[in-house]
Amino acid sequence: MKTAIRDPKGGEKGTVELPTELFSAKIHRHAMWLAVRSYLINQRQGTHKVKTRAEVSGGGVKPWRQKGTGRARSGTTRSPIWVGGGRAFGPKPRDYHTDLPKKLRRVAFASALSVRAKEGRVTVLSDAGVTAGKTKELYTTLKTLGIVDQRCLLIVDASESLAVRAGRNLPKLETTSPGQVNTYEVLRADQIVVTSKALVALKEVRAK
C-alpha cells in the first residue's frame, strides 16, 4: 500500500510504501476486542475498599438482652443489617491486571492500523514541523491537514521530542512513540498521523 508523504505546509513530497504486515493485514475483530478489553482492565487501580463489621468503630455493647424483649436477637449495632454497620461481602483491594499473548497483541495492533488505513485515515508526514516546541507550530500543521478538530494520534520518533512537548496543550491530540502505541489508542483516534522517522521505527519494532 502506497500513500503520499505530506509536509507540514500541506504539500506532497513523494510517496512511501506502508508496511504490508501492519497496514494491509487481515482484520481480526475479536483480537482487537480482546486487546482493548485488556488495556482498559489494566487501567484499573483496584484500590476499592469498604469496612467490614470488624473494622467499623463502635458496636462493642450488646444492644439488648438476648431473650424476653420480643425483638430479634442482636449482638452488635455494627452488623451489616444495621444502619451504620459494616458491609457484607464488599469490595477488597485486588489486582485486575491481565496479559495477552504477544502474537495476539501483534495481530490486534496490525488489525487496528489496517482498519484506519482502509478508511483512509492514515497520514504520513515528512516531519512534524516543530522546531521550537511551540503548540502553535503543531496546531498549524494539523490545521493545514484539515484534521485539527478531529481526535488525532500522532506517532513520532524518539528524536522528535519537541513534537511531544508541542502537543501537550492540544485537547484532541495524543502523542506516542512506535514502541508505546497500542491497539486502543489507534482505534480511539479518528486520524493517525505518523512521521517518516516514526514509520521506519514502527516497521522495525512492530512488524516482526
Per-residue pLDDT at 198:
92
Per-residue pLDDT at 128:
86
Residues whose CB is less than 8 angstroms from the CB of residue 203 and which lie 6 or more positions away in sequence, other chains included: 19, 22
Tens digit of pLDDT at every position of the chain (208 positions): 788 898 888 788 888 889 999 999 999 999 999 999 999 999 999 999 999 999 999 989 999 999 999 999 999 999 999 999 999 999 999 999 999 999 999 999 999 999 999 999 999 999 888 888 899 999 999 999 999 899 999 999 988 889 999 999 999 999 999 999 999 999 999 999 999 999 999 989 887 6
Level-2 CATH architecture, domain 2-45+97-206 = 3-Layer(aba) Sandwich (3.40)
Nearest by Cα to 181 from 171, 189, 172 = 189
Pairing of strands 2-6, 12-17: antiparallel
Pairing of strands 122-125, 173-176: unpaired
Q: How far apart (Å, rounded) are the C-alpha atoms in residues 60 and 91?
A: 24
Q: Where are the domains of the chain?
A: 2-45+97-206, 50-90
